[in-house]
Structure 1
Amino acid sequence: MDFDALKAALIPVAREAGAKIMEVYEKPAEAEFKGDGSPVTEADAAAEAIILPALHAAAPSVTVISEENAASHALAAPETFFLVDPLDGTKEFLKRDGKGSFTVNIALIDKGRPVFGIVYAPALDRMFVGVVGQQAEESSGGVSRPIRVRDVPYSGPVAVASASHRDAETDAWLNDHGIDQTTSIGSSLKFCLVAAGEADVYPRFGPTMEWDTGAGHAVLAAAGGRVTNPDNSEFTFGKPDYRNGAFIAWGQLNPT
């Protein structure tokens, strides 16, 4: 895969999808609910309608598994596939709280591992792109810079946790690891804060799907981080129903 060509093709697509999401964001909040109880909005469908044709044009032979394309969820995971969440953090999107913690997620998975990811937070104008084995970068305000996980500060590690799905297992894990500094934010931005050196670890025990995590995982891995199962084994993709178990996204903090 030509990752430079993929970046050139898909970064503008993520921005276009983000612009469409922001058009909807300016309207009164409205949502419907899917069979699993999760919300879906006009913005989800509008963003997906931009992303899917662009992926087909950029890589016509690669299967796309997308949150809002329910038929794709029944497909067995091929060796290489795209994962798309056109609007990750729909609950944060609906809050209209000014925090802007919702994203466009596009990931490429190969042999069970994320190799490329784009996470775009349109309300914050933060674009994260990662090519695993090469580099992760953030673009904001027309300026692009490489990003890297940080050394754990002397003041102690900072964990980032879900804004809408914080649970007792997360609190227990943080307590067991002696981590008392946390910041809360929604969507795949949690991976990106660790990747950009703004936090050190992201533990997640609540339910997620692979399209929620693929792009952020790729950005973090490209920035020198890693994602593991709680037992420190490798966290992989292409699982049944594309459903994740618990995981820990690490910066430089060592697992204990």
Structure 2
Amino acid sequence: MNPIDLDQQLSLAVKASIEAGKAIMEIYDSADFETEFKKDDSPLTRADLESNRVIMSYLTSTNIPIISEEKKNLDYSERKDWDFCWMVDPLDGTKEFIKRNGEFTVNIALIKNGTPILGVIYVPVTKELYYANVEEGKSYKIFGGDTEELPQNLFDKENRLLPKEKSRASKTKVVGSRSHMNEHTEQFIEQLKNDGKSVEIVSKGSSLKFCIVAEGEADIYPRVAPTMEWDTAAGHAICAAIGLKVTNWETGEDLIYNKENLLNPFFLVK
């Protein structure tokens, strides 16, 4: 394979995410979701499938293999030798989409030897766009707007997301659910309190959990519930590009991608 122009690939992924977002919003505004359920009882809507169709129309031109939630993925025997692959969740937060609370996203990441090196998260309702080049250590945020054209200032300095200084305050903002916590998360919060911290719970849907940590709106995101690689790869890239870690809950090692089993271990973002 020829050397990959990362800025070019990131621009393409941004364009794909914005166009996919438009397709999602047409269905969202029509309220004609045509919801069905997969074997694992997770919901699937017409918007998931249409978004996937749009993204595939862009990414197939790169000749880089694609792993997507809404695509039949190849067996590991064929995937294991890939140096690069795209990791796609066409509509992350389908439950949020059905609830109509706006907290759903389009996620696209480029993986190199198991590590996310590019990431895009687009929020169709608010038109917020997060994207990152990990190898350059740069994350960005802009508003996509209504234009059909790709924003010309994608890589301008004023769009950079910069690491927030660690607060010396005693309060720690933890990403979680305000309404219910599982036992592991409750224990984690109790340990923070035992360390003298007061804890504020910050709640967000979908991959926006990664974004609020990257923006400094939360300090830590403990995830002790199942996720798949396509749920986390783009958010992982956005966080990693500004120096945050996304690590295996048990081992402390960075999450890896394109594994034989595409289910993630529990993890911590901080």
Normalising by structure 1, we get a TM-score of: 0.89
Following TM superposition, the consecutive aligned residue runs of length 4 or more in structure 1 with deviations greater than 3 angstroms are 71-75, 141-144, 162-166
Match of 2:256 in 1: 236
Letter in 2 for 1:213: T
Match of 2:108 in 1: 106
- Per the TM alignment, residue 149 of structure 1 is displaced from its structure 2 partner at its CA by 3.0
Contact map agreement 1:164 1:186 (CA 8 A) in 2? no
For residues 168-187 of structure 1, the aligned pairs below 5 Å read: 168-178=183-193, 180-187=199-206
Match of 2:161 in 1: 147
Q: Deviations over 1:14-67 (max 9, x none)?
A: 11100111111112344100011110000000000000121111x21x110000
Describe the SS at the equivalent of 1:241. coil
For residues 202-221 of structure 1, the aligned pairs below 5 Å read: 202-221=221-240
Residues 115-124 or 154-163, more deviating: 154-163
Letter in 2 for 1:225: L
- For structure 1, the 5+ residue unaligned runs are 251-256
Tell me if 1:68 matches 2:59: no
Q: 1:22 to 1:159 in 2, by over 3 A?
A: same
- For structure 2, the 5+ residue unaligned runs are 146-152
Normalising by structure 2, we get a TM-score of: 0.85
Report the count of equivalent residues: 246
2: CA distance, partners of 1:219 / 1:226? 10
- Per the TM alignment, residue 164 of structure 1 is displaced from its structure 2 partner at its CA by 9.1
Q: 1:164 to 1:18 in 2, by over 3 A?
A: farther
What is the RMSD of the two structures over their aligned residues, measured on CA atoms? 2.0
- Per the TM alignment, residue 221 of structure 1 is displaced from its structure 2 partner at its CA by 0.4
**2:214 pairs with one of 195, 205, 209:** 195
